[in-house]
Structure 1
Amino acid sequence: MLPLSRSTQTRSGLLGLGSPPGRQLMLCVVIVVAFLLMMTAGWNHYAEQFASREEFLLSPREILISTPPEWIQSDVLIDAVEKADLPDQLDLRDRELTNKVANAISAHAWVRSVHKVVKQYPASVLVEVEYRKPVAMVEVEFVDEGAVRRGLIPVDVEGTVLPPGDFSRIQANDRYPRILIDLKRPMVEAGMKWDNPRVPEAALIAAELLPHWSDLKLNRIILKEESGQHYELELTDQTRIIWGSPPGQELPQETIAKHKVQVMLQKSAESALSSHEPQPSLDLRTAGRAVTGLTQVHR
């Protein structure tokens, strides 16, 4: 057998670049490299144009959020966008976009939680929001032009401070229960829970009574600390009703909140509370036992 010449075989037995197969391999490599270089040049040329395609971009002001209820006068979306300092354009291809939007919206004082953020093509972002609901106005004192005056600050059922600017004077005075604790202004901003835990407790009572507040001629919820801490209800004629403990925190043998409300409604129907004449004090902590059809809960 004749040995291969040095031009067609290397010492290791591999094909040399001078052989026909070697030249073909080198040609293939050159073609692939040239193709990649052309692709890179093409991408660099069109990348900027591709990145600015309108179907991927939208303004933060174009985000669609759940329709706010009638008690919210603020523009929740615009306020949240401005406070969060989001960029002028949002990009659907941003993997952190949903988190950024959720964080921006959830920071608003009226937003209790963001349930869902959905990206849609072409450029659209949908946000499902749960809003806070006002249940009471807390009485506070403040100094105005050297004089001490009283004002009202709205709260939700959890005692979260709500934006006072969304309420007219008439709404604040006539539509919601009042809470009187210590007249101190909160040390927290709107969107945060009142720093005095007695306010959230009273807010729970207000939430139970809110649907019937006007019909029962109630004026305010008051914290009483004589002979053991408890809450009382003051009627518009200054009559006092002993409520007792906050809902869910009733003492053993104390009537639960739902039954207390039923007692008041029944007494009102009997005109015991609706009369303009002062009425004897009613203690709701035990009154539920005397109402027909109510089962006393023992704890």
Structure 2
Amino acid sequence: MPGKRPSSTPRVTTAPSKPSPSILVGLLRPRILLTLSILLFIGVFAPYAPRLIPNLKGRPEYRVDSRSIAVPGGHEWIPADVVQESFEGRDPLLSLLEPETAETVARELQKHPWVDRVNRVSVNRNGTISADLSYRKPVAFIEASSGLYPVDADGVLLPPKDFSPQDAEAFPHIRNVSSAPPRQAGLVWEDAVVKGGAKIADRLTPGGDRERIWKRFGLVGIAGPRGGKPVSGAAVDQISFELLTSAGSRIQWGKAPGADDLEPTFDQKIGRLQHYLATYGSFDKPQGPYDIDIRGFEAISLYPLDSKLYR
């Protein structure tokens, strides 16, 4: 019987795959080609773009003079050139295209001693800049060894140059201040007599009205403790004040508003003084001048200033 030939496994070969016609057709679509062209263009020219695009920030039509910034008018002591003073010493031109321009304007205006708060800064489409400001208001003058100094209700020193001698005489005066004023306007005078006296002056001249209480009561000054050393502004709750009258009487007022609830309230103290005036017509009558103490809850205490107690 003839032998069988060994069976051989047929050899399989794979032909190279060809791109699918559907993929090629998809890549050749106009929208895809356009997208690829844009991406290629960006990749090639992006590094050179900053050199090709013009810098508009420095062009005159996109810059504004800081002196033209619109701000609200203030009271009679606010200088007309408050914006110019705020930007003194720096480039007055501002770019309308810089994102930090509004922040820069707010920062420079806030430095001015008359500006209490910058509420808003607007860079407008018409190429202008405007700012909404709240201004500080004078309430009293401090009698210091080196002169008279205006302050607001928080004891912030205001620019003395913006006041006339007649202005200084019209405001309440705070006396017995032994510390020196701050080195520049716009800073808080850290002295308890200054800060407490300014709060009292503010309440005695509501809204800047010096007629209703201050002048009607014949007041001329607010005095801290006599002969004392400077007291830190943080200790304002510890200071007791006197009101001085044109007739020579001294009213023992007590602590600054909000400092001590063991005394009558501000309105209760004013009510007592109004009742005294209605009864006698003046704080030096009937046989004054007096030391008038309104700090007690029960009644007013009255002592003649020429008594042995005050000799």
TM-score normalised according to structure 2 size = 0.72
**Structure 2: 5+ residue runs without aligned partners?**
1-13, 21-25, 228-237, 301-311
Whether contact under 8 Å (1:237, 1:276) holds in the other structure is no
Q: Deviations over 1:36-82 (max 9, x none)?
A: 9899999856614685261x321111111121211223621111011
- In structure 2, the residue matched to 1:248 is 258
* Equivalent pairs, count: 264
Using a 3 Å threshold, how does the CA distance of structure 1 residues 46 and 263 change in structure 2: closer, same or farther?
Answer: same
Match of 1:238, SS? coil
Give the aligned CA root-mean-square deviation in angstroms.
3.7
Q: Does 1:272 align with 2:285?
A: no
Q: Which structure has the greater CA radius of gyration?
A: 2
Question: What is the aligned partner in structure 1 of residue 309 from structure 2?
Answer: none
What is the CA-CA distance between 1:12 and the residue it aligns to? 8.1
- Equivalent of residue 60 in structure 1, options 51, 56, 66: 66
- The aligned residue for residue 54 of structure 2 is 47
- Which range moves more in the overlay, 118-127 or 177-186? 177-186
Q: Retained in 2: the 8 A contact 1:268–1:274?
A: no
Q: Which runs of 5+ in 1 are unaligned?
A: 5-10, 16-20, 143-150, 291-299
Equivalent of 2:167, from 162, 166, 171? 171
Q: Helix, strand or coil for the counterpart of 2:290?
A: coil
Q: Partner of 1:231 in structure 2? A: 241
CA contact (8 A) 1:109 1:163 kept: yes
Alignment correspondent of 2:189: 194
Deviation at 1:33? 6.1
State the shift of 1:225 in Å. Answer: 6.3
CA distance in 1, matches of 2:282, 2:298: 15
Q: Relative to 1, partners in 2 of residues 1:43 and 1:182: Cα closer, same or farther, differing over 3 Å?
A: closer
What secondary structure is seen at the aligned counterpart in 2 of 1:154?
strand
Q: Distance in 2 between matches of 1:122 and 1:180?
A: 52
Structure-2 residue corresponding to 1:129: 133
Q: Do the aligned partners of 2:264 and 2:296 also contact (CA within 8 Å) in 1?
A: yes
Instruction: Measure how far apart 1:247 and its partner are.
Output: 0.5
Q: Of the candidates 232, 240, 262, which is equivalent to residue 271 of structure 2?
A: 262
Q: CA deviation at 1:163?
A: 0.5
Contact 1:231 1:245 in 2 (8 A): yes
Per-residue deviation, residues 127-180 of structure 1 (Å, max 9, x unmatched)? 1111001111000112xxxxxxxx21001110111100111001101x210001
Secondary structure class of the residue paired with 1:192: coil
Matches within 5 A, 1:1-299: 47-48=54-55, 52=59, 54=61, 56-73=62-79, 75-83=81-89, 85=90, 87-142=91-146, 151-173=147-169, 175-210=170-205, 211=210, 212-224=213-225, 229-252=239-262, 254-270=263-279, 271-273=281-283, 278-286=288-296
Q: Residues 23 and 61 from structure 1, CA distance in 2 versus in 1: closer, same or farther, beyond 3 angstroms? A: same
